[in-house]
Amino acid sequence: MEILLPDDHAYPRPDIPAQLVDGLNPPQREAVEYRGDALLIVAGAGSGKTRVLTHRIAGLIATREAWPSQILAITFTNKAAAEMRERVGQLLGDSVEGMWISTFHSACVRILRREAERFGYPQGFTIYDSADSKALMKRIVKSLEAESLGVTVPTALNRISSCKNELIDPDGFARKTDLTNPREQLILEIYRQYQRELQRNRAFDFDDLIAQTVWLFRAHPDIAALYQRRFRHILVDEYQDTNHAQYALIRELTRPVAAENVPLDTRIQLAADGSIPPASLTVVGDSDQSIYAFRGADIRNITEFERDFPGAKTILLEQNYRSTQTILDAANAVIGNNFDRRVKNLWTSAGSGKQIQGYAGRSAHDEAQFVADEIHRIHGTGVSYNDMAVFYRTNAQTRALEEILIRAAVPYRLIGGTKFYERAEVKDIVAYLMSIANPNDELSVRRIINSPKRGIGPASETTISNYAADNDMSFREALRQPDAMGFGLKIRNAVAELAAALDEAEASCNPQRPTGAVPVATMLERLIERIGYIEKLRATGNPQDDARADNVEEFVNVAKEYDKQNPSGNLVEFLTEVALVAAADDIDDESGVVSLMTLHTAKGLEYDTVFITGVEEQLLPHKMSADEPGGLAEERRLFYVGITRARKLLHLTMAMSRTQYGETAPSLPSRFLDEVPNELIDWKQSPAEVLSAPMMRGGGGYGGSSYGNSSYGGYGRGGGRGNSELGVARGSGLKQSFKPTRGNRTFDNQVTGKVKDNSALELASGDRVRHTDFGEGTVRAVLGVGTKRIAEVDFDTAGRKKLLIKIAPLEKC
DNA sequence: CACCCAACAATTTTT
DNA sequence: TTGTTGGGTG
């Protein structure tokens, strides 16, 4: 496609309001002002890319080069989208309203719902999350006895997911793969059945959302033209993490519109042949932060951008506005070990700042205790908990961290992990809503048919399913005719009642009804009331069920909040939002707590103080990456992402032994630690120190001495194999007995808090206490009330700690 | 049909 | 170590 205006005419644009370019450095400014078909902004970590993007958008609007509705901005998470919307809003006011600022997934859902009739789906089609896909796949794998050929549920899901990310449908797969291989044949059959089931349930999985949109555009050029005409300026953030399907989507959207698809009344300036020129494309990314290859992200999308979009302009942003030079030096040194990359060097004018803090614990709990102590110390210097974050490679690492943080009364929040929406009870309620929004979604109806318990077991379920198939109706429709299936009275009634409850709920959210649709939350509350979901949970007297009931109530609150934010919203939109929330989305900046998350979720975020934990061989780099091509380089980028999140103070910690699946094994410092220049790290306790003083006692090992004076190995008494003497306390429950305090403080084998309840313990300043791990000490202060009482204790050997009295293994002495 | 227990497997990162 | 699945019993 011809570029309409030659480069030197297009740039610079003098008419962009000064406040949009003032204060930008030269490359930033150029990135805001450049005009042309394609622009690649290579934005190093912390180089102000969000600022550039928002100002660029605002510039397009302010100069009247574009209407708000002609802007499509794609981000990686909803949170990033919300932030961008907010910041563009600050620059422009109400004009943001008409823009599409969203994730790939939400943008695609929006398109798919609009065009649903064109491919025979209801507008309220269901979106299956990974758990739903898994459940579906389980059934298929089982029915085909695929496991006997070594095709497990995760393998099958992975294969299909990569197919979709590559835009390969079952037929395409059949063409590409070696069908003489029975295993491949089996996977093809699984893929076929899986897609058939999705289709039958009128559902899409996550990967479908992108792939089906691309296929829709390719099959219906007129639909594609609609969006090609509409979006004149497309901006994509985190471009290095796009997969092939996402890339193809962008390509579809940036095609010129052929003359025959141009309506007569268009206000867009046409090319000479009557076609509409392609939309302008701006992508922002950093190949050093590409960490999603495992789910199909193709780094070549960014490295070959200039080839894909001839005439593209590239701008490099290397000045960092986030971190100290020390942190950047570490980051640069680490990433420099990846060859085959465009060299980029982050720099700052902010000064070198504090040294990186290193700590090698003897166990994961020891490591966690260091984290807890540091958090307290730093909080004491006036840093808010909000501004601190703890990162780890695998979710399994949270256990030890949580145990210690709870005990140490550090307020924290887990980001991601077992998410709220993945809890069984919440999924149940969502399944109710999906059943209502999409009656064809058999999977969801089946999920809730006996939840809460109604006495409808697997046998009855199969009967209904068969009846539905025989009579050519949906599963949900069949529920309305329980009399025809030869059930006993009890089951008949139960089924009829469920059908009626669903029908009533469905009717209440129909906008066509005389009194109008009822808000989502109201409908939901009535439904829960009618089926007695919460009531039945509360009745069991089981505290876990109580917690479940709380979660359901919390979900109702989510619905209420949604209604408040979206007065004209509806059930389908609510479900869309629920289906597409990501881990990073629920970070609340005001919550006043420390954030815990995986290195992956940390991408795009920043904190004053950062802890990267578990910097060990086998963990970071993770052992699974070893035999994947490019695996090590990706792990390194992950570490790099973690480092560059820190603004002022970075901690790198590890444990010299780690317990996994109940087995404790020694661990080695990560090779990445060697890549950080020595002089940048201040080891509070180095791996060597741990090894040379293996039998430390009391608080000697960490904490206490490690902060000042230190005396490693000084009085380490031989004898006692680490935890052998701990055999005691384990299950014994109450009062946590007296365990010899001289033990070294490995926490392995330690009970976690649930078994004991110290809430009755009364402490006052000056009391002498004994702690299972820290030995004896003097209470300095007691803060808080009730179950949240915190004791600040000066331990004789372990230093000063804050402890949550309720669950600390603490007693008076 | 619901519940309990025993055996068993599985453990990277996530839109 | 944890969670899940399967079989057997009430």
Q: For A651-691, write each residue's pLDDT tens digit.
A: 999 999 898 887 888 889 999 999 999 999 999 998 888 88
The span from the CA of A336 to the CA of A346, in Å, is: 11
Task: Give A573-615 pLDDT, tens digit per residue.
Answer: 999 988 887 666 666 666 788 999 999 989 889 999 999 999 9
Position A750 scores a pLDDT of 36
pLDDT at residue A83 is higher than 60 = yes
In sequence order, the 6+-apart residues with CB closer than 8 A to the CB of A181 are none
Higher pLDDT, A76 or A499: A499
Tell me the two tokens of residue A118: 């064109």
User: Can you list the pairs that A692-697 forms with residues at least 24 positions away whose Cβ atoms lie under 8 Å?
Assistant: A694/A362, A695/A719, A695/A720, A695/A744, A696/A362, A696/A744, A697/A742, A697/A743, A697/A744, A697/A797
CA of A154 to C1' of B10 (A): 12
DSSP string, A498-537: HHHHHHHHHHHT-TTSTT-PPPHHHHHHHHHHHHTHHHHH
Residue A465: which H helix or E strand, with range? helix A458-470
Active-site annotation of A, residues = 49-50, 237-238, 289, 645
Q: Is A44 annotated as a binding residue?
A: yes
The full 3-state SS of A491-505, as one line of letters, equals HHHHHHHHHHHHHHH
Position A224 scores a pLDDT of 92
pLDDT at residue A154 is higher than 50 = yes
CB contact at 8 A, A84 and A75: yes
CB contact at 8 A, A55 and A21: yes
Per-residue pLDDT band for A539 (boundaries 50, 70, 90) equals confident
Q: Is A741 annotated as a binding residue?
A: no
Taking the CB of residue A512, how many other CB atoms lie within 10 A of it?
7
Q: Which nucleotide does the CA of A730 lie closest to, via C1'?
A: C1
CA of A114 to C1' of C3 (A): 41
The span from the CA of A655 to the CA of A398, in Å, is: 14
Region A772-788: mean pLDDT is 84
* Poorest-pLDDT segment among A211-215, A400-404, A513-517, A559-563: A513-517
Q: What value does the mean pLDDT of chain A take?
A: 83
Q: Which nucleotide does the CA of A75 lie closest to, via C1'?
A: B15
The span from the CA of A741 to the CA of A769, in Å, is: 12
Tell me the two tokens of residue A563: 């209604």
Strand B: which nucleotides have any atom within 7 A of a protein Cβ? 1-3, 10-15
Q: Please tell me whether residue A313 adopts helix, strand or coil conformation.
A: strand
Position A606 scores a pLDDT of 92
The span from the CA of A656 to the CA of A361, in Å, is: 6
Tell me the two tokens of residue A752: 């976690």
**In degrees rounded to 5, what are phi and psi of residue A810?**
-130, 140
CB contact at 8 A, A274 and A259: yes
Q: Which nucleotide does the CA of A660 lie closest to, via C1'?
A: C1
In sequence order, the 6+-apart residues with CB closer than 8 A to the CB of A374 are A357, A611, A651
Tell me the two tokens of residue A72: 């499509």
Which residue in A263, A254, A154, A140 sits closest to A191, CA to CA?
Answer: A140
Task: Give A326-348 pLDDT, tens digit per residue.
Answer: 999 999 999 999 887 888 888 89
Taking the CB of residue A273, how many other CB atoms lie within 10 A of it?
8
CB contact at 8 A, A136 and A196: no
Region A22-50: mean pLDDT is 90
Q: Please tell me whether residue A708 adopts helix, strand or coil conformation.
A: coil
Position A710 scores a pLDDT of 29
% of chain A exceeding 70 in pLDDT: 87
In sequence order, the 6+-apart residues with CB closer than 8 A to the CB of A620 are A393, A599, A612, A614, A635, A638, A639, A670, A672
Strand C: which nucleotides have any atom within 7 A of a protein Cβ? 1, 5
Position A160 scores a pLDDT of 92
Position A487 scores a pLDDT of 86
Higher pLDDT, A511 or A33: A33
CA of A529 to C1' of B2 (A): 24
Region A93-110: mean pLDDT is 90
Q: Is A49 annotated as a binding residue?
A: yes
Per-residue pLDDT band for A696 (boundaries 50, 70, 90) equals very low
The span from the CA of A353 to the CA of A374, in Å, is: 18
**Cβ of residue A138 lies below 7 Å from strand C:** yes
**CB-based burial label for A639 (10 Å; 0-12, 13-18, 19+):** buried
Tell me the two tokens of residue A265: 């009344």
Q: If you search the block for the tokens 């295993």, which residue do you land on?
A: A183
The span from the CA of A240 to the CA of A763, in Å, is: 55
pLDDT at residue A453 is higher than 90 = no
pLDDT at residue A752 is higher than 70 = no
In sequence order, the 6+-apart residues with CB closer than 8 A to the CB of A6 are none
Q: Is A50 annotated as a binding residue?
A: yes
Higher pLDDT, A3 or A43: A43
CA of A10 to C1' of B3 (A): 74
Region A686-709: mean pLDDT is 54
CA of A454 to C1' of C5 (A): 22
**Cβ of residue A339 lies below 7 Å from strand C:** no
CA dihedral A338, A344, A347, A352 (to 10 degrees): 10
Tell me the two tokens of residue A414: 């887990």
CA of A477 to C1' of C10 (A): 34
**Cβ of residue A662 lies below 7 Å from strand C:** yes
Q: If you search the block for the tokens 């109530």, which residue do you land on?
A: A553
Q: Which nucleotide does the CA of A142 lie closest to, via C1'?
A: C5
Position A380 scores a pLDDT of 92
Region A122-145: mean pLDDT is 87
Higher pLDDT, A325 or A276: A325
Residue A776: which H helix or E strand, with range? strand A775-783
Residues with CB under 7 A from strand B: A 76-77, 103-105, 130, 152, 154, 206-207, 291, 294-295, 393-396, 416, 450, 453-461, 491, 580, 582-584, 597-598, 600-601, 622, 624-625, 628, 660-661
For A293-362, strand residue ranges (E) read 313-317, 356-361
Position A105 scores a pLDDT of 93
* Poorest-pLDDT segment among A188-192, A219-223, A252-256, A626-630: A626-630
Higher pLDDT, A253 or A702: A253
CA of A461 to C1' of C7 (A): 21
pLDDT at residue A777 is higher than 80 = yes
CA of A379 to C1' of B7 (A): 48
Higher pLDDT, A378 or A584: A378
Residue lying closest to nucleotide B12, CA to C1': A394
Angle at A668 between CA A665 and CA A674, to 5 degrees: 170
DSSP string, A566-577: -TT--HHHHHHH
pLDDT at residue A753 is higher than 70 = no
CB contact at 8 A, A746 and A664: no
Which range among A180-189, A207-216, A575-584, A725-734 has the greatest average pLDDT?
Answer: A207-216
Q: Which nucleotide does the CA of A600 lie closest to, via C1'?
A: B13
Q: Which nucleotide does the CA of A749 lie closest to, via C1'?
A: C1
* Poorest-pLDDT segment among A22-31, A543-552, A720-729: A720-729
* Poorest-pLDDT segment among A479-483, A721-725, A755-759: A721-725
* Poorest-pLDDT segment among A247-261, A280-294, A390-404, A749-763: A749-763
pLDDT at residue A322 is higher than 90 = yes
Higher pLDDT, A122 or A694: A122
**Gyration radius (Cα) of chain A, Å:** 29
Amino acid at A280: S
CA dihedral A490, A491, A494, A498 (to 10 degrees): -170
**In degrees rounded to 5, what are phi and psi of residue A496?**
-60, -40
